[in-house]
Amino acid sequence: MQTTDTVLMSHGSGGTMMRDIIEGLFFDAYAGETLKRADDAASLDIPTNRIAFSTDTFVVTPHFFPGGDIGHLAVCGTVNDVATSGAVPKYLSCGFVLEEGYPIENLKRICASMAKTAKEAGVEIVTGDTKVVNRGHGDGVYINTAGVGVLRDGIDLSAVNIKPGDKVLVSGTIGDHGIAIISTREELSFSTTVQSDAAPLNHLIADVLSAAPDTRCFRDPTRGGLASTLNEFAQASGVAMEVDEDAVPVRPDVQAACEMLGYDVLQVANEGKMVAVVPAKQADAALAAMRAARYGENAAIIGRVLPLAESARPAVRVRTGWGSTRILDMLVGEQLPRIC
């Protein structure tokens, strides 16, 4: 591999420099036998008639932040999206858009992080692509990942399955990722360092499904936070939802940061939390499974699903500690750009 400290336009040229960065950097970091074949398409063994497929693009800035980096986020985000269907994530693709001049050492750190996270999740990166844009026409690095997972027969998770009487659970404290990003980006100082919650949650989801096999659906409350997720659920299933504000787990420093910045913590992005809706009779079992899993120790039952009143529209209400209620709307506009 020809030695260079930064990404060059020739790293995307299709020639020897591109071969060098692929084999000397990407392959060294995370290539298995399938990726090392360097075919235009990966040939995969899928022992099922049903798969789940998802794709996501990551443009977060800064690229490195407390608790993670863009590479870690790119693997977690797509693994979690695939897992919300009830599938077992198996394979990922990875496409890089690099800006001319981006430090090679940063790229190595990102790839090492992706390799570590993929190993934890139990997935393999099997194909990829690399493009380089001129200096000033990108922002260092963008990453696209797509994921494929295997679905068992009988699994059909969807928000349309939600029914009145169901319980709403969240796997841990909310708002951590959004506050970690903005505090780093804007160089805000808090009494403690807020860490991003980005994490692969496929094993947690599998444990919940084993404990609560009639689970209606999962969703990771990323952009728009818990508020957008619950409103999407209500709209999809034609129900009302009520959340107990005091039951929602929030770190005190995250709550304080939101109050200082004028944010509603229920609208702040997460990258390592999962919302589940389950039948009431299985809620305790689902909660116990979450709390026993890695990344789920702060899980809580936070609300319930209610029937719609006649002529009412699907909505989400928050019951405050004072006994009053307020409407929880979806996020309007862009609270925090480039959060993931």
From first to last of the 340 residues of the chain, give the pLDDT tens digit.
557 899 988 898 888 888 889 988 999 999 899 999 988 899 998 888 899 999 999 999 999 999 999 999 999 999 999 999 999 999 999 999 999 999 999 999 999 999 999 999 999 999 999 999 999 999 999 999 999 999 988 899 999 999 999 999 999 999 999 999 988 887 776 656 889 999 999 999 999 999 999 999 999 999 899 999 999 999 999 999 999 999 999 999 999 999 988 999 999 999 999 999 999 999 999 999 999 999 999 999 999 999 998 888 999 999 998 888 999 998 776 666 678 8
Same domain, 178 and 255: yes
Same domain, 29 and 115: yes
Same domain, 166 and 312: yes
Same domain, 180 and 217: yes
* pLDDT of res. 183: 86
Same domain, 183 and 77: no
Q: How does strand 315-319 pair with strand 217-219?
A: unpaired
In Å, how far are 20, 56, 73, 235, 327 from 170, measured between CA atoms?
44, 22, 20, 19, 19
* pLDDT of res. 334: 66
- The region, left, alpha or beta by phi > 0 then psi within -120 to 50, assigned to residue 224 is left
Residue 224 lies in a domain: yes
* pLDDT of res. 243: 97
Measured at the alpha carbon of residue 208, what is the angle toward residues 87 and 304, in degrees to the nearest 5? 110
Quick one: angle between helices 283-292 and 202-211, nearest 10?
150
Using DSSP's 3-state secondary structure scheme, residue 217 falls into strand
Instruction: Say how many domains are in the chain.
Output: 2
**Cα end-to-end distance, the chain, whole Å:** 32
* pLDDT of res. 277: 98
Q: Containing domain of residue 321, as a range?
A: 159-327
| Bridge partners for 65 per DSSP | 68
What tokens were used for 190? Answer: 């808090």
* pLDDT of res. 191: 59
Same domain, 106 and 202: no
Same domain, 143 and 182: no
User: Tell me, what DSSP letter sits at residue 45?
Assistant: -
Residue 132 lies in a domain: yes
Query: Domain ends where: 150, 172, 207?
Result: 150
Using DSSP's 3-state secondary structure scheme, residue 275 falls into strand
Contact 173, 296 (CB under 8 A): no
Contact 160, 96 (CB under 8 A): no
